Copies of this chain bind each other. A is one copy, B any other.
Amino acid sequence: MRLTPATELEYRCKKLQALMQTADLDAVLIVQNADLYYFTGTVQNGCLYVPAQGQPLYLVRRDQARARMESGLKEVLSFSAPRDIPAIISSYGYPEPKRIGLEFDVLPVVFLERYRKVWPNVVFSDATPLIRQVRMIKSHYEIHLMQDAADQVHKIYERAKEVIKVGMTDIELAAELEYTARKHGHLGLIRMRVFNGEMFFGHTFSGTDSAVPAYTDTPFGGLGASPCFGQGAGHKPIGPNEPIIMDFAGSIDGYLVDQTRIFSIGPLSARLTQGFEDMLKVQELMKEIAVPGISWGEIYDRCHGLAMELGYADSFMGAPSSQVSFIGHGLGIEIDEYPFIAKGFKDQVMEIGMAWAFEPKVVFPGEGAVGIENTFYLSNDGLKQLTRSDDALVIL
């Protein structure tokens, strides 16, 4: 367990304040857990008032003592309700805000209504793009945590090789991997920013079930064990000569990596084997072209183009009618951060400090799915790979 250094928090806040000035915001009020963790170093019941200039004020309802202990911020203050905030700001000598940015992509409507009562003359706008821009550039500290998460997921991968047996069900395998993860410090929680985003460690499934589409915005879906959570592992027994997918998010101190590997008891069909090899080629292309300055959309277009050339129009990134329009996604505290290696996005470019998972995959309904996923980082010295398990198909 590490506490986020105060210098990290200061730097993050200053980056946000610089963007706020460009966006003409007097303040940003942060309330969502992932953003609070990023900007305060802890998650308490409260909110962070970031003025355009000066120290941010961490207003904490519960728990005060833990906020003081765990957060490196200078100003941790008590409050009981949003109506207290104007007086606190004023007593702190900060000007009355006229324009406040909020996390409109995650903030429920009732919260905005409450803030409108507190500040009837304030113009509220969406600060999410600014927050996401700050968070998309990882510090060395953050990359170290992700490196540890990659070590954790490698241990789970090694365990998978030991436990996979014919006849065990997907959910039994998932339970073994989750158990291993927890014993290696995984916090359990996978934070996902998108509304209704739900994930439990990742997706572990085999054969035909690996090719079942789901409601999730992911190339693989899975049948799941119930319509109430119809993704991931279900009760299908694992057989020989079928792909067994371990798409697993490692997590250390709230930082995630994403890794997918394919196992099989005995060899796979020629089509699946070829599909897997071809996805490695798509990964190689991304590694070549992901340099600072290339747009997220261009990486997508070129890698998608290669997959089309290789003959995967109907299977790349999902079963027909369920194909997703991305190949990679940024990650850190949440599994769906900037950058999006996705269709469109021609104006956003790769920058040093970005971290993302890249997951070229093919899905053949009625047979199974294969592909690869690793987590990468654009360092001063070029592209680095964080996840480190051997890419190769594991034939058991």
Binding site for B on A (CB under 8 A): 1, 3-4, 31-33, 37, 41-46, 62-66, 70-71, 102, 104-113, 126, 171-172, 174-176, 178-179, 182-183, 185, 187-189, 195-196, 198, 200-201, 212-217, 221, 224-230, 235, 253-254, 321-322, 333
Contact = CB atoms under 8 A, between A and B. Distances in A.
Given A107-B108, A226-B253, A228-B187, A321 B179 contact: no
A215 B254 contact: no
A43 B105 contact: no
A339 to B, nearest CB: 20
Contacts of A214: 62-63, 66
Given A37-B227, A104-B113, 9 more contacts: A1-B235, A43-B229, A70-B227, A104-B108, A106-B108, A111-B195, A187-B224, A187-B229, A227-B253
Q: What number of copies of this chain does the assembly contain?
A: 2
A117 to B, nearest CB: 14
A33 B183 contact: no
Given A66-B213, A213-B62, A214-B66, A198 B187 contact: no
A249 to B, nearest CB: 13
Contacts of A41: 227
Contacts of A66: 212-215, 227, 230
Contacts of A37: 227-228
B42 A230 contact: yes
Q: Which of A182, A228, A322 lies at the interface centre, i.e. has the most chain B CB atoms within 10 A of its CB?
A: A228
